[in-house]
Structure 1
Amino acid sequence: MAGYFAIFLVLLTLASGLVWLLDALVLAPKRQQKLVLAQASAGGQLPVDSSESLLKEPQIVETAKSIFPVIALITIFRSFIYEPFQIPSGSMMPTLLVGDFILVEKFSYDVKDPVWRSTLYSNNKPKHGDVAVFKYPEQPTVDYIKRVIGLPGDRVIYRNKQLFIEKACAEGQTTGCGKLETVELSLKNEGEYYQERYPQRRYTEQLGEVAHDILQTPARREHTEFFFKQRGTAIDEFVVPDGHYFVLGDNRDNSRDGRFWGFVPEHNMVGKAVFIWMSFEFNEDPQSWLPGWVPIGVRFDRLGPIH
């Protein structure tokens, strides 16, 4: 089921539309009939003020007619085209930072209704390297954002901070699949970002045709004891079931992702993150008098497509 705000928007759209329809079909003709009767009783035309008073719409009708087109447009736009999101954590650093405002393309994947999330139109499927927003499997009212690493049938290993993928072969496919391959990493810099007091290394990771940056914290060990345990596999190995996807955060040592809770059902997919349209910088000094939620700057250099 959709989040509370999506349900609220749909209910508000339906309510305002029904009030508008009720007025057009029932209330407006009754007001016009009252005017005709009043004119007949007066033996002619009524004063303008009296006519306007008899034809005046109730306040609820005026409000409904004024907000319905706007609310309907917003509901359609965010349900089927693009939905804005704000990044609340650093699990997707350096691709996405806290304070980034992004657009998620809803029609990149299956188009779903905004309340029950039933598929209305089957479109494209997630691909390796997509930055995807999805309903968190352990709490479906919460939206998560991670990178798609494994598709249905893929075998994924994350061992010693290195990613390995054995891609599933489609029917008739004989190349580019069925073989465990190392996902290439090239060091970009170290010390640009920190996790607590530990410096992080920034790598460029080549995932198929998608090149993107990730962060690793060499001083932090992998907590494999908390990894999702899948029957018949090693503790750091994941075989993606049919109709599911395996996802990781780009901030590999600071992300609660598929390694810890498993796989994302295809039904939970919301859309593909495609664009950063605004990015605010916030005050991180705990000694400052300025609240942490107040922006202190705009990171214009971050605006643009998401890779």
Structure 2
Amino acid sequence: MTEQKPVSKQKPKKSPLREWFDSILFAVVAATLIRWLFMEAFTIPTPSMENSLLVGDFLFVSKLHYGTRTPRTPLQVPLTHQKIWGTEIPSYSTALQLPSFRLPGFTSVKNGDVVVFNYPIEDQYPPDLRTNYIKRCIGIPGDVVELRSQEVFINGKPMPTPPGVQHEYIVFTADQSWEDKYFRKFGVVNDYRDPDPNNHTLNWQPWQQFNDSTKQNELIGYKVITTKETAEKFKTVEGVKAVTLLVDQPGTGFGVYGGEQTKWNRDFFGPLQVPQKGQTIQLTPQTIAFYGPVIQRYEDNGKVEVTANSVTIDGKAISSYTFKQDYYFMMGDNRHNSLDSRFWGFVPEDHIVGKAVFVWMSIDPNPESFWQKIRWSRLFSIIQ
């Protein structure tokens, strides 16, 4: 009597629709994990980092450098940030909010790093879903930051100036026919259009007409946002009478961090110490102006009320405070066209997204010709 072998059962073959679904599901899960854990792609929408980073640059941001954050808002449509693609429908739910932790990284934020972070004062979104900003880290926890006539000092010592840093200049010339094509020769490009006309800052624009009494000519001033090296080139152009650097004068503060009592401005700012985890400060009217918003917004202290002279937590007045996390001071390389820590304050450590590593693609939004649409020289360039 022969023994019969058991009949093996074959798994039913997946339908083409099921295979497509499984492939898409795997791709979404893999892309979500890579985006959260390792690296994420971003694009530069505004000129606040010119000339270091340009409008139309596409870059990769490493999450591994500083350590990946665990999600605070886990109920979210995969591969979205604030809205579902192409709609105004929120892509997340705040029904579940978790404490945020950071996995170990292989470095920490350093002075001079180009960092992506969540915009701290954007209260309509959870902290981990606030709009992504990119700036250069000027001050790390415990640093004393100061600007003296546009030069940055850290702990009383000058900080090396990145090569792409820009400021505002007035170029005085008798030639009133300069247009975008002319300025493009000098790398000064109006590649950004803010939809809000009140925030319509251009890299070049006619500024004011003057009368040159010595030669009976009418001069025009062009306001140009550019580097120091390019400003020197303008001085050699025929017909240019003068190139003047615009510097805000000390004591003429306008809307900068710390309130009107300081009279700081974008060119003369500080000295101001960046808060450090474990640091204890005494609360006075001056320190409340600088650190009261930090205690109220970012330290998870419950109900905090801040006045010009007092801070209360859950109804109890406090005279000193110990910070629970580290903070950073960020500035754009386009120093006269950047909304940064000089205006809205410090970046909490739990808002840090990652380190900008390299530009993998760069598209000129307003090229002179189709063939110049891609900025070939910027492809796969390391971010300095």
Q: Does 2:100 correspond to 1:133?
A: no
Count how many residue pairs are aligned between Structure 1 and Structure 2.
225
Q: What stretches of structure 2 of length at least 5 have no aligned partner?
A: 1-9, 74-98, 170-185, 190-202, 206-222, 230-243, 277-325
Q: Does 1:91 align with 2:99?
A: no
Please say if 1:199 is aligned against 2:224.
Answer: yes
Alpha-carbon separation, structure 2, partners of 1:78 and 1:192: 34
Q: Is the 8 A contact 1:131 1:272 kept in 2?
A: yes
Q: 1:165 to 1:295 in 2, by over 3 A?
A: farther
Which segment is superposed worse, 267-276 or 296-305? 296-305
Structure 2 equivalent of residue 225 of structure 1: 254
Q: Equivalent residue of 2:227, what SS?
A: strand
Note if 1:73 corresponds to 2:26.
no
Query: Is the 8 Å Cα contact of residues 253 and 263 (structure 2) preserved in structure 1?
Result: no
Q: Distance in 2 between matches of 1:89 and 1:185?
A: 21
RMSD across aligned positions (CA):
3.5
Describe the SS at the equivalent of 2:52: coil
1:246 matched to 2:320? The reply is no
Could you tell me which residue of structure 2 aligns to residue 273 of structure 1? 356
Alignment of 1:108 onto 2:65: yes
1:145-200: CA deviation from partner (whole Å, max 9, x where unpaired): 0000001111111232121110xxxxxxxxxxxxx112355999996437233234
Q: Which has the higher strand share?
A: 1
TM-score (norm 1): 0.63
Partner of 1:181: 157
TM, length-normalised to structure 2: 0.51
Identity of aligned residues (%): 36
Q: Distance in 1 between matches of 2:204 and 2:247?
A: 10
Aligned 8 A contact 1:187 1:203 in 2 = no
The code of the aligned residue for 1:246 comes to F
CA distance 1:185–1:102, shift in 2 (3 Å): closer
Higher relative contact order (CA 8 A, sep 6+): 2
Higher helix fraction (1 or 2): 1
Distance 1:261 1:131 in 2: 18
In structure 2, C-alpha distance between the alignment counterparts of 1:126 and 1:186, rounded to whole Å:
17
8 A contact 1:157–1:164 mirrored in 2: yes
Q: 1:157 to 1:57 in 2, by over 3 A?
A: same
Please say if residues 186 and 203 of structure 1, whose CA atoms lie closer than 8 Å, have aligned partners that are also in contact.
no
Distance change >3 Å, CA 164–CA 99, structure 1 → 2: same
SS of the residue aligned with 1:259?
helix
Q: Which amino acid aligns with 2:204?
A: E
Which ranges of structure 1 fall in alignment gaps of 5 or more residues? 1-51, 167-179, 205-216
